[in-house]
Structure 1
Amino acid sequence: MRKLPLKQVICVTAASVLMSGCSSVVQQIQETTGNEIRKVEESKASAPTEIKSKQVVKEIHASPGPHTKIADILQDPGKGSFSGDSFNQSKVYQALDQMPIGLERDAAFQYLLGLLGENYKQLVTVYDDVEMVDLQEQARVLSEIAKDHQEKPLTAEEQAAIHAGAVKNNQILFLIDASRSMGKDLQGKRKIEWIKDALTQATKAIPKGTQVHVRMFGKEGGVDDKDPGQSCKDTSLLYSGVEWTAPVWSKSMTRLESKEGWNPVGLAIQEGTKDLSAHKEKSYENRVVLITDGVDKCNTNPNQQAKQLSESDLHAAINVISFGSNLQEEKQVSSIAGQSGGEFISIKNGEKLTKALQSVTKEIRQMDSPWQVRALEKSEKTFQNTRDQLKDQHQKLSEVTKNEQEHLEAANEYIYNQSKIEKTDYERIGQWIDQRYEQVDGHIQKQYKKSDGKLRKDWLSQVDNLEKSWDKTNPKNTPNTFAEKKTEILGDAK
């Protein structure tokens, strides 16, 4: 029986599926899936399948091959037309109705993969993409702040004010992404509305006497997606004050609206640095919280601006809250936190945003703690946040593999019930589907365990470094608050 070349679309006329002439549904499904029909046997229900002498040749994206070994599956560049988020049951059934009768079993399996097979070559890179921000940079920034404290130590009055819930001469800057993506719906409410509510709750809880700044970026854009307009050139200071009052705050929040602009994160950091510098003489500590859901598309060098800020005499780390971003965007914005010694927190729903903001603003009340203890607590939060991010991505990938198995099994059942394949082929294809799932699932479980172990190992290494620094700089007869905090944290981070 004649075998047809890979990546060719053939116009097949079959009595059971043909509508008219050479407008073959088989041709259409091949163009969609990239399946290779290697052998077409005689139909049991109609006249023999006839192959036209003229073949229509067209390059198409390859579908996954009928592999069952993990090494081959991970190297296969193909992807099914209705895999993942593209799954559409009715269209899959339509495509299966168009499937020729009598394909060899491996060709039939590949046909199913051409519709529903995932590209694991791309998906499994998720474990390499989740990384902790630089823990050593976090510690460096806090040690620099400690040096400033030594030069200008807290007075007894200031220490008492901290414990009483009031902290003078501190600044916190919120940089809020208000570009077009923040106008999108998330759980029945626009992202920008979630931010307003969370920001209001968080600022209410900030200790009295703290200078609070809120700067928005992502203003009105140009006439189309290719024209950023003024959005890459301007940011807006919405609020700046020490005494939090509801009327003034509410008026500021009415100006915080999603615009049709781009997001110049680097420019926002640069302008925010000026906000902090304007009160530098009165400022004891400075911190920045960036809330965004995308990357800088205005070429304003956010990483460079973040590094310059942390290395300046302001010593301000940037804590980044990624709000509803995808993994690729998260990897880019997390580098801003890494460059400045800040934290990176990934948030996927609105309810957790308030908690995330409260977590990063809590630092204001910890300014009288030794820097090693503060670095220990911050590193533990970073470890847990990164671990949660890894777990979230792993669960998503596990769901993808399980959905693929279920969809392939249903498709195999369907073509068997439609008498497209024999029972022996149906059973063998079912075994291949199970083998594919077991191999992939086993691989991703190992990768997850390996990545989680690496995160923990890197974090524990930093804990050891901080402990050595503590032992080096603190006399043995002083209370070992670091050891106490370490015991508490290690117990919580099992």
Structure 2
Amino acid sequence: MKKWLSLVIIFSILLLSGCSLLIQAAQTTKPEQTKPQSKKTEPLKPWQKIKPEDFRAATTPEGMVKEGPGKYAGYDYDAAALQSELAKLPNGLSTDQLYNQLIYYLAENYKPIVDKLDHFDTSFEIRNKTPDDLRVHAPDAKKLNVAILLDASGSMAGKIDGKTKMEQAKEAIGRFASQLPDGTTVSLRVYGHKGTNQAKDKAMSCKSSEVVYPSGAYDATRFQQALGRFRPAGWTPLAKAIRDAQSDLVANNGPNTENIVYIVSDGIETCGGDPVAAAQSLHQSNIHAVVNIIGFDVDNAGQKALQAVADAGGGEFSTAQDQQELEMYLEQQYTQMWLAWTNWGNTNWIDVNNQYNAKWQRLQLIAGFSGSQFANKLQTERQHLESALSFLDRKNKLQDGQYSDLSSKISDRYNALEAYRQQRYDELDQILTEKRDKLQAFIEQKQQEMQKKYE
């Protein structure tokens, strides 16, 4: 009996302990706290900021475009709800009071459209640049910087049609330099012009690289004198000449300067240098010079070697078998430049016109006479106002003469806003036209100027 009573007591203690723990757990466990979500408040519409009886309609178009949207404007238009509001109006209101009520309820929201007009992009740009692969300075370039390197190694003494290659090269280069555009700086460097092409003179000849016409404006007398100062003599230090050409170009390098190197050579490097590396280094330097090579009476192996040099210099390689072909190549440089400017002018003139058409069509969509966003809102507002006026008349809310007076006010508002639309449209249309014409005139002038230089 005592044993049974002891078990009952123990069980009771355990049961009470468990209940106590459950109560404690329930007391210590707090319900999950949730932060109240803040409601995003929409900005008040104009009609929500003022009572209908206190509203005063604007009298100028600048004010009219700012006073909407009315309570039943745009997508909120509800004829039945509007008529319910109008039916509650007291009798005997003045014409101005009734007009204010109508505008309070039905003024359209012109502000988004006006904002588009205020921020309408009237700018045009020249989007098509002169092709880089033609080696022509860009339209806004201020200076063309040309370095001519002439191979004066002994092999240039070889004759073609009774004249040495050197004589023919000098005549072609002289003609080329004389036709450079005004403002161009030009330099003439010769290499391999000292010693002989014998082994005993190799060391001296491979060090020979000299500027005979320092970088500057072209002067016919001085340039011809420079061409007469040397004769074909030694080896071919082509890599050294290319490296040295950088100093010739740097002297007149600056913003918007196109640096071009023309090399006339009848053979490959014979002094152990690396003309490919030299051309690549010059092209990738901060002056970004382009290296063009004219192979003058060069064999197949020489052509491949010189082609690699031109490729590394970001330029082109051409061959000439005689003076006529050499002059033809140099003439083609002008033809390419002339064609590039012709294409630049024609392409950009048309592109500016396309830009104008796209902007004009957007202007039509926003504020054109018929079917535009502005015109549609204006027409909708007038129809709703006239419909509301007819309802007031049917409900006998109008006194003698008020229908005519209110109809006139509605027409005056429409005409004022229509004149405002037309004015804003005309202003932007005029700006677009003037800017288009000005840029196209600039393009034509630049095109003709550059074509004349390269004729």
Q: Could you state the TM-score of these two structures normalised by the residue count of structure 2?
A: 0.44
Between structure 1 and structure 2, the one with the greater Rg is 2
Q: Could you state the TM-score of these two structures normalised by the residue count of structure 1?
A: 0.40
